Structure 1
């Protein structure tokens, strides 16, 4: 019986049966992961196929820094999240000219409210953003970087640890320290007003 890494090497050399063996080893776990994200069997089944297709196409990116299973779960998570984002952006067309039907058979004209923020809110957001960036630019690069990666780019602790080449514990302590520094700077500024 071959190890996952041996099967990956054989797959990269064109051995389709080797990749099929990897699929057999991981299909139930990948399906279970997909089911948790997608919420129903049909979507989970479809996305599982997409995950293995993506894994096959991306197999050359597997460097062996983690186990094949870990790499495959990362691929699976990314495919599922991409699909959920895509679904969120999908807009159902709605005619603004057609009246709405009520339960008793009457029709109502639509009142369309502009959901976009007003000029005052846009200005306040921009002002607040500039306010925060002023403080961030005064911080040490390591503190600024950690806040940007976690709080603005929403990366996981593990991803940040890989980017910064440090441990997850170091990421957490730096982030805590950086947030405290930023909080103190904001509080000091507020006391001046």
Structure 2
């Protein structure tokens, strides 16, 4: 896919609108899910997708073909989300959305085993508590945890996206997990 992305980016840079439309098609859902998981708001996630592709389009000449296109576009999307989070004041609501665009909470993507209805209620409550705990992570850990565990990016890819050394990513991931563990020990 990397070579195809690079080829499409080159064509789009040369003015090929169909190539740019293909890039949008390939990445719009991935960027939406990234933004939704970071911001927990459908409307804001949709805005981030639009802003990401606007930035991609206006900066295509700056894309370095030696790096993966996916890394470049994830960096743009992630930075836009981080900027949005910084501008936002921390607000938590009992009515906050916990579902993705398909009507499932993001824990539904985890492998599950059939459980009794009572166990499912406990599991569901636990998932909500984990999600709420992730929302309370300090910003510098939150992006790393989401990119690693929810977007399934490798440590190197996260390093490329956030422009940080892999050792920093490992440290933030470790500290983010510790933060979550301590928070969940208090709750569960």
TM-score scaled by length of structure 1: 0.46
TM-score for both structures, normalised by structure 2: 0.47
Larger radius of gyration: 1
The structure whose RCO (Cα within 8 Å, separation 6+) is larger is 2
